Each structure stands twice: as structure tokens, then as C-alpha cells.
């Protein structure tokens, strides 16, 4: 039925827009051209869309596209003093009401009673929409805000844009029915049963509480965050578990099969010890939001849209080490740097992040040595590398093999300043002999333990997860952070169940203070919420404490 309505709308759109009679292929092209105008501010001929704001301030569409303010989904935004209203198909071509009137009308309709409220404006037609885009006057004669550009578009270009708007967020995304919202989470077969359970149990809480909310929503023991479910409370929330087995190269086909069987609105969390890339790409291809998977090996990409990560994982640790070292070289430290990299996804991610930020600074001299499988980093290999390169600083991106190598270094070895990753090395990092600690800098990707203890929201999260203390890998707390952010998004999304809309509203969230990582911040196109990492040292104690040597975010 919905498909038929869409078809009728599309046919009408095609016949109404002057001069555009399109075949299916042309129709796709026209959609792409419209999308480019809307998102990138480029006209079909490739030149920027031009317009004026505040009377005479000329703007270039590439820096000022429609989606900038009205968002990619067309559901609009509120920023500071400016409200950019909804411009998606279902909004523009229907009368616009205050939200309260809209709800009042739908209640009346469901009871078979008509109580029409006064519309703010009537439905746009192609002609009135073209007029408002050109001259800034809506069909009621009201003038739009001066920050809304007035565009001098030709009839043909206007036709393409109007057609695009007619189809923009016009039909709910898959995974939504009148009574249900279906999500998935992903678990790969390299994940231990304990880790799997830590994530799934937390996710189950979301489903359980949603069910309870329907009947017990007034009980005070419900955590504040779950009250946000009110918006979706009349829909059943379910989370499917998509288990991925075998080689990552086969994951895409497995994901496709799951998706064909039952489409989902979004992927909530997910967990893997392997690089997230195949899942990231699946989500990009199928335009499915994926929120804060538990991975330390995310896909680091400036251009992707659909996956939101809590941080850039190992890459971010390397990046921070690069900035820390570049700053100390700028302040006079020696600039000869050696990077020893274990050829694993973890080592490579640390190295990529380091090299990227190192290259940005353009200081010093960097040598990178990659250790392949079977090539041990024992004390003699390390000693020889240090003698060969005589670096001022050495970054050692390996697991705990570095700890025994350092413990057995010959007494005559001259050790430079060293950097390692606490997450890659693991717990044994604290067994580094005391005298070496002064020369050892450690990337630490979480809030420091003593700060975490005083962090106000932390206990609340532990209680929700029924945890006495955080699980070592922070899986439950990270999953609860995801749920917390997701629920805020769901609340803001209201009844507009469009996937791009979910990502748009998440981009508008204020900064969040959550367990594990420092300050989560958001913004259109920002895809890594927490942007920093600490550099720490160990004190000389038997159970060494971490001493902060950097801010969370370095430049």
C-alpha cells in the first residue's frame, strides 16, 4: 500500500514539474542531481548554487547547502536563535501545523472526529515552493528569516530541487511498522562468551524496560534515561542478534542475508575484536545507522556517514602520541624518532594514527620498523634497533612482549624516551621496573581511575548494569553509553522514523559526560564522539598510580 502511494507521488511529481519527463535512468540521474544541489550546493552544471542572506550577503552553496541547516533528512534543526523548519516531502506538501495541533488532529482522526486546527501555512505547490525559494515569501505572505538564502534558480534547476524535496524523507525507513521498531546488534565469533553476554545483557535492558514502561512508566525506580522511551512507547522495540562467523571477507554476505530476511532500522552497538571495516562498509552501502559498536579498531574515514564510534580506538592513541611528541619537539626535545610496529590490526592502527599526526606537524625525522609474524621483539632485537637508529624517542606498538624485552635489556643499553599503548600491552604494563618508568610514556584511552571514581554518573551506570565494578573491557558501560545517547536521539526524532533523521538529531545533541571516555561531543558529520586520549606515566609505587602528563585533547 505504502509502495503504491509512493509510486503515485513519484508519478505526480514527474508529471507536474515543468519540462521534466524522465525514464527510470533519467529519474535516478535527476535524483542524484537534486541530492547534489541539496547536500553539496552544486547546480546540475557543477557550479555553486548562489544566493543572498540578510539582504546583501552573498553566499556560495558549497559552504552553505540546504542540508547544512535543514539537515540531510530534511527534518530541520534548531540552533541557537534559528529554527530551520522541516523541508522533507511529507512536511512541505501538507499544511504546516504547530506540533500540538498536529497531535490534536491525529487524535481526532483516530476517533473519527474532525477538529481541524488553523494551519501555520497551507501545503506548498511546486509554484509556491519555487516562489518562496526565490523570493523568501511563503504562501501566507509571511517573509522567511533573513538567514534563509534567497536563490535565483532557473526553472529547470528549480524543478530538479523541488522533485528531490518531494521524495526526501517521504516514506519511513525500513524496520518500522505502526507497532514495532526493529533493531539489530552484531556479534562476531571471535568474541568470548563473557564479553558477548556483557553487551547483550545491557541491550536486553533496553527491551525489557521498554516493555515495562508501557505498564509501569510511573514507577520512580525507572532511571531517567528510560523515560525518554515515551516517544516510542507504543511501539515494541526488539533487537535481533546478527552473529557473524568465519573470515571477515564473508561478513558482508552474512549481513546481507540477515538484512534480506528482516530489515532493521539501525544497528545498536555490536562487538568484535577484529577490524570493524566490513560492517562499517555494509552500513554505508545499505544506509543503516550503526551506533557506538564496541570496537577498538573502527574504520577511520572522514567521508562516511552511517557509523558513529565512541572514539577512533587504537588510531586515536597513536594520533595523541604523535601530537604529544611533536609538541615536545617544538619545545626543544630531540627530533629523531623510531617507530616499532607489530604487524597486527592493533599495531597498524596505532602506527597509522601516529604517522598521520606526525606528518601534520612536519617536524623531526621518523623511521618505522615493522615486525612481521614470527619476528620476535626480544631484548637483543630492541637493543640492536636502538643502536642502529639512535633515536631520541621510540614508539613501540606491540602487546606485552615489550614488557619482558625491557626487563631483560642489557645494563649498558641507553634507553631513549619510550611510548607504548596501555590497551595493547594490557595489564602487565604496571610490571615495568621502577627505574624505567621515568622514561616511559603510556597512551591511556580512558578517564583515569581516580577521576572515574568521582565521576557522578558512573554509579548510576553500574547500578543499571547490575555491576559491582566495571567489567575489564568496559563493555557493559560502553553499551549503556550507547543506549543513553540512542534514547536521546529517539526522543528528538519524535515520530519521524527516518534513518538519516536519527543521525541528524544525534549530531545536534549537547556534549555528554559518560563513563569510560571523557566528553562525548557531536556535530553534523562528526563520527567519533570522544576525541582524546591521555598520555600518562607510572609512579614508582608497587601498585603504580597513573600520573597524567597531558590534557585529554592535544593539538
Partner 1 sequence: MNSSIVRTVLIFVIASCLVSHSVTALASQKPYQRTVEKYSLPDVTLINQDGKRVSLKSMLQSDKTIIVDFIFGTCTTICPVLSAGYVNLQNRLGEENSKVNLISISIDPENDTPRVMKDYLKRFQAKPGWDFLTGSRKDIDAVMRAFNAYIPNKMSHYALTLIHPPKADKWIRIYGIMSSSEFVDETKKTGL
Cα distances from 310 to residues 56, 481, 531, in angstroms, run 42, 9, 8
* CB-side neighbour CA atoms (13 Å) of 107: 7
CA 80 – CA 39 distance, rounded (Å):
22
100: contact with partner 1 by CB under 8 A:
yes
Which positions ≥6 away from 308 have C-beta within 8 Å? 289, 290, 291, 292, 503, 506, 527, 529
Binding mask 342-381 for partner 1 (x = CB under 8 A): ------------------xx--------------------
CB of 31 closer than 8 Å to CB of 13: no
- Strands 50-53 vs 150-151: parallel, antiparallel or unpaired: antiparallel
Instruction: Mark residues 211-250: x for contact with partner 1 by CB under 8 A, - for none.
Output: ------x------------xx-xx----------------
Indicate whether 146 belongs to the interface with partner 1 (CB under 8 A).
yes
Q: Is residue 433 a contact residue for partner 1 (CB under 8 A)?
A: no
The single residue among 456, 510, 542, 543 that binds partner 1, judged by CB under 8 A, is 510
Quote the CA–CA distance of 417 and 396 in Å, as a whole number.
11
Which residue from 320, 321, 295 is spatially nearest to 308, judged by alpha carbons?
295
Judged by CB under 8 A, the residue of 77, 167, 188, 351 near partner 1 is: 77
Residue 81 makes contact with partner 1 by CB under 8 A: yes
Indicate which single residue of 3, 19, 46, 80 sits in contact with partner 1 (rule: CB under 8 A).
Answer: 80
Q: Of 387, 511, 539, 540, which one interacts with partner 1 (CB under 8 A)?
A: 511
Phi, psi of 242 (to 5 degrees): -100, 105
Distance of CA 374 to the CA centre of its chain: 37
In the bound state with partner 1, the residue whose beta carbon lies nearer, of 76 and 269, is: 76
- Structural contact between residues 487 and 226, judged by C-beta atoms closer than 8 angstroms: yes
- Which is closer to partner 1, CB of 359 or CB of 365? 359
Q: Is 79 in the site for partner 1 (CB under 8 A)?
A: yes
CB of 65 to partner 1, least distance (A): 9
Set of cell numbers at residue 532: 582524546
Among 107, 253, 257, 407, binds partner 1 (CB under 8 A): 107
Our finding on whether 12 is near partner 1 (CB under 8 A) is: no
Does residue 42 belong to the site contacting partner 1 (CB under 8 A)? no
Measured from the CB atom, the residue of 433 and 523 that comes closer to partner 1 is 523
The backbone torsions φ and ψ at residue 203, rounded to the nearest 5 degrees and listed phi first, read -65, -35
The residue with cell 562467523 is 245
When asked if residue 69 is in the footprint of partner 1 (CB under 8 A), the reply is yes
Give residues in contact with partner 1 (CB under 8 A): 53-60, 62-64, 68-69, 71, 77-85, 98-100, 103-104, 107, 110-111, 120, 143-148, 217, 230-231, 233-234, 360-361, 494, 507-511, 519, 521, 523-526, 531-532, 551, 553, 555
Amino acid at each position: 500500500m505504502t509502495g503504491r502511494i509512493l509510486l503515485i507521488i513519484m508519478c505526480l511529481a514527474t508529471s507536474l514539474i515543468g519540462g521534466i519527463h524522465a525514464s527510470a535512468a533519467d529519474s535516478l540521474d535527476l535524483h542524484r542531481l537534486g541530492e547534489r544541489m541539496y547536500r553539496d550546493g552544486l547546480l546540475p552544471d557543477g557550479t555553486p548554487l548562489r544566493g543572498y542572506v540578510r539582504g546583501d550577503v552573498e553566499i556560495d552553496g558549497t559552504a552553505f547547502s540546504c542540508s547544512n541547516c535543514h539537515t540531510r533528512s530534511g527534518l530541520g534543526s534548531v540552533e541557537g536563535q534559528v529554527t530551520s523548519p522541516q523541508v522533507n516531502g511529507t512536511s512541505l506538501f501538507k499544511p504546516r501545523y504547530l506540533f500540538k495541533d498536529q497531535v490534536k488532529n491525529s487524535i481526532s482522526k483516530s476517533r473519527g472526529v474532525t477538529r481541524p486546527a488553523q494551519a501555520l501555512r497551507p501545503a506548498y505547490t511546486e509554484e509556491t515552493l519555487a516562489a518562496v525559494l526565490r523570493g523568501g515569501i511563503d504562501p501566507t505572505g509571511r517573509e522567511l528569516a533573513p538567514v534563509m538564502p534567497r536563490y535565483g534558480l532557473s526553472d529547470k534547476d528549480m524543478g530538479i530541487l523541488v522533485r528531490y524535496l518531494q521524495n526526501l524523507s517521504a516514506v519511513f525507513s525500513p524496520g518500522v511498522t505502526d507497532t514495532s521498531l526493529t533493531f539489530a546488534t552484531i556479534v562476531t565469533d571471535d568474541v568470548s562468551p563473557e564479553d558477548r553476554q556483557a553487551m547483550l545483557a545491557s541491550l536486553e535492558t533496553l527491551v525489557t524496560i521498554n516493555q515495562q514502561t508501557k505498564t509501569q512508566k510511573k514507577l520512580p525506580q525507572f532511571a531517567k534515561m528510560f523515560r525518554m522511551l515515551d516517544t516510542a512507547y507504543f511501539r515494541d522495540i526488539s533487537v535481533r542478534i546478527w552473529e557473524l562467523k568465519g573470515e571477515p571477507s564473508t561478513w558482508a554476505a552474512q549481513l546481507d542475508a540477515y538484512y534480506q530476511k528482516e530489515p532493521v532500522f539501525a544497528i545498536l552497538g555490536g562487538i568484535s575484536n577484529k577490524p570493524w571495516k566490513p560492517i562499517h562498509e555494509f552500513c554505508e552501502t545499505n544506509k543503516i545507522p550503526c551506533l557506538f559498536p564496541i570496537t577498538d579498531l573502527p574504520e577511520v574515514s572522514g567521508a562516511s556517514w552511517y557509523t558513529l564510534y565512541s572514539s577512533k580506538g587504537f588510531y586515536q592513541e597513536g594520533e595523541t602520541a604523535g601530537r604529544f611528541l611533536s609538541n615536545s619537539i617544538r619545545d626543544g626535545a630531540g627530533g629523531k624518532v623510531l617507530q616499532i610496529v607489530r604487524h597486527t590490526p592493533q599495531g597498524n592502527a596505532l602506527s597509522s594514527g601516529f604517522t598521520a599526526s606526525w606528518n601534520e606537524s612536519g617536524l623531526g625525522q621518523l623511521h618505522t620498523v615493522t615486525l612481521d609474524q614470527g619476528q620476535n621483539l626480544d631484548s637483543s632485537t630492541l637493543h640492536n634497533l636502538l643502536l642502529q637508529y639512535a633515536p631520541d624517542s621510540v614508539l613501540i606498538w606491540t602487546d606485552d612482549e615489550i614488557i619482558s624485552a625491557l626487563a631483560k635489556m642489557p645494563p649498558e643499553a641507553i634507553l631513549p624516551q619510550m611510548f607504548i599503548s596501555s590497551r595493547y600491552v594490557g595489564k602487565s604494563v604496571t610490571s615495568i621496573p621502577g627505574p624505567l618508568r621515568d622514561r616511559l610514556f603510556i597512551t591511556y584511552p580512558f578517564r583515569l581511575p581516580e577521576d572515574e571514581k568521582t565521576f557522578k554518573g558512573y554509579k548510576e551506570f553500574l547500578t543499571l548494569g547490575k555491576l559491582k565494578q566495571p567489567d575489564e573491557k568496559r563493555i557493559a558501560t560502553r553499551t549503556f553509553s550507547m543506549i543513553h545517547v540512542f534514547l536521546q536521539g529517539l526522543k528528538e526524532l519524535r515520530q519521524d522514523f527516518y534513518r538519516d533523521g536519527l543521525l541528524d538529531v544525534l549530531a545536534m545533541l549537547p556534549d555528554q559526560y559518560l563513563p569510560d571516555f571523557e566528553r562525548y561531543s557531536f556535530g553534523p558529520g562528526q563520527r567519533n564522539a570522544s576525541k582524546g586520549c591521555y598520555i600518562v606515566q607510572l609512579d614508582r609505587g608497587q601498585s603504580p598510580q597513573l600520573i597524567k602528563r597531558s590534557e585529554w585533547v592535544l593539538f
